[in-house]
Amino acid sequence: MLTIIILMSASVTGFSQIDTTKHKADSLPDKFYIIQNVDREGEKLPEIEIKEVTISGKKGIFEGYQQWRYDRMVYNVKKVYPYSLIVRNKLKEVNDSLTRITDEKERKKYLKDIEKQVFRDYEDEIRNMTITQGKILIRLIDRETASTSYDLIREYRGRISASFWQGVARIFGTNLRDTYDPVGDDIFIEFIIREIEAGKI
């Protein structure tokens, strides 16, 4: 089923109106701004329309956290976060289908077919992940599915398979039982995900 994914684990803009005045910026001799004379409560005032600028206070949360580490974390989270969403959506699809399949043999065939499909679609991308990215993905799978990777493998592949892959994961310094803690160890990851979802990074 989904075990393949789990395992391979401000510029300024001028607008011209009828009543406008050209002003040359002293510091930018080759550029001109077109200023609008706008009536504000009976008084003509010059205005320039600019694009909206959003300022977020990262310093408070990340004070003392080295910038390069934060930038690297952003890179890694942006790389693996989409796969955790794939797992979540695929898991829902599989569970919905399994409710309609009563024959045990057909259920096993369905799960095997899904596993082959996921393997075919994502094998290369997952295998190219670093160990750090794999660790983040394991935690994000727990975030999105409310189940650890170990529990998912055990449910769909059995306890023996889950134990085997847990042993392999431990060799590489990872743990399929890792859980997601958005207010503790994973606070930086949670912040980055919220920034991604808001379209800020």
C-alpha span between 71 and 88 (Å, rounded): 26
Per-residue pLDDT at 71 exceeds 80? yes
pTM of the complete model: 0.65
Residue 58 or 198, more confident: 198
Residue 137 or 55, more confident: 137
**What percent of the chain lies above the pLDDT cut of 70?**
75
Please check whether residue 201 is in contact with residue 55, taking contact to mean a CB–CB distance below 8 angstroms. no
Question: Average per-residue pLDDT in the chain?
Answer: 79
Q: What is the mean pLDDT of residues 39-55?
A: 72
